[in-house]
Chains A and B, each alone.
Chain A
Amino acid sequence: MIEFKDVNKWYGKLHVLNNINLKIEKGEVLVICGPSGSGKSTLIRCINRLEKIQKGEIMVNKTPVHQRSTNLTRLRAEIGFVFQQFHLYPHMTVMQNIMLAPVNVKHMARSQARQIAMEKLVQVGLTEKADAYPAQLSGGQQQRVAIARGLAMSPEIMLFDEPTSALDPEMIGEVLDVMVNLVSEGMTMCVVTHEMGFAKKVADRVLFMDEGKIIETGTPAQFFDNPKTERAADFIGKILTH
């Protein structure tokens, strides 16, 4: 479903993505972890071309994302993206936030979009907040709305860029619960996170990155209990002990 072929990206001299080769299958849940600055966020931001790559190929659903000529509007509509800082539209209510893309990108009738938005709010457990503005919500609630906003486009893939890193600890659980439910529905997911509990519970594969390279991949059990590389072992030790 998603394929990276010899992908390279530089910020000036900094080699942020170094020869990335990666295949993500339909229905797979991939967790990407690694120290900050390792290129993991950049990696998933390349999937819907929030970041451009300089070398290599990225195919998503047979669409060549790396080609300049590709019109990405359609593809982006099929990929949900959840940001660390939520990025809800502050001038719109929760309902309007969720309805915006279905109405304007898919040209859905407002009544139908409203119905779908309501379904998604049920799914993330926030129906009572439909008419609230983002500023009136807690961080965890905002992130759940952001997930509902992504889901309202019926995406085939959901990308999560550190979805719980900006949250107070007591709100992390509610967001992870929503994500775990998504997994059980068979959604293809790419999650950049340090939530090892989540990775162990639902990931099909864990990918460890450092300095722009994929250092190792494996099932959560392999990766956490028997990391192949010293760097991965070191990293796991650090996030588990603190």
Chain B
Amino acid sequence: MRPLTLVGDSIENPWNALTMMHAAEMVGSACLFRDHKHLTDAWRETIASEAALPCIAIGELAQSYPAIVALDTFDEADEIYGFRPRRPGAVALVVGNERLGISRDIRRLAHDAIEIPMVSRQVSCLNVAAAAAVGLYYLARGGGGSSQGRSDPQRRRPDLLLMGAGDPIELGSSIRSACAFGWERALVEDRRGVWFGCDRIQRSEGRGAARRGRNPIRLIPADPGMSHAYRKVVVITVAHPGIPLHRTHLAQGKEQLIVIPDESEVRIEEEDWERLGRSVELVHLDLPARDFVYHYRLIASIALAETARQVGRKPREVGRERGRRRPVYEKALQALLEERGELVFLEDLEAY
């Protein structure tokens, strides 16, 4: 395998930086940062117990890495599926700030530009650590199959079950990834109560990570004891051996259920998988490293990216440019109550 290094450019959130380091650990690569946004100070203040933030200057980046690959949403970027760096030698995968993208000087320096194809128009980017994990996974694998243009990708898209997440931010970021990759609905088995019926802080953290304000995905609560009648169930795991993820057919439509369990909370061997469907298959997400800090969003994003690759997407219409949406100014009032229904007790109703 070619030496691979993850470089974070202008990252602002130290927790994202930490998760990026863990994502790099997953594929056995190093992680460096180009600090523009006072990340070092924020790192020192919030994650003091961890080691010092490894930084790199742009000159050093240019000298040390013969192949610099920029991961961003450029117009001329190649899809990450099936991509191989054109230049030999050590590869630096640069990911940028979620809002601002990769800075202009690194963009000029980069030898290749790649993007993770997004289906959703509302949620058009992943969490930076999740994007880095997807990028590292495909670069570490070295190519693989490319994405196919399909006239009816939604018919090929399987149902999704996000199982037992223990952290609202991890679950929220996974939901964001699911929406970005084109899922319109997902089942959520919320065993730890981090999404449905949680307290206000957890709720706001999770919803913020999921970008729920503009994320239209429909979340269906799934009870842990509930039975389902899927024809085929695919459980994606990193801890247990099974069929490699990229060799599994993950685009069998609505009769198939993709289950992504949070393996820091769910014990695969103790679960009754038969309740979900007739045929259950354990699929192994093969990562180069054996010991790494488990983050649900990273594993879920890689699994969703691979499924989205197999599902394919509609080919972009030839000759149709991505148009800039014209501004619209609206005068409207929004009532404060969000819920359509109210909980009314019988005695209140009688009194009314």
The judgment on whether A and B are partners is: no
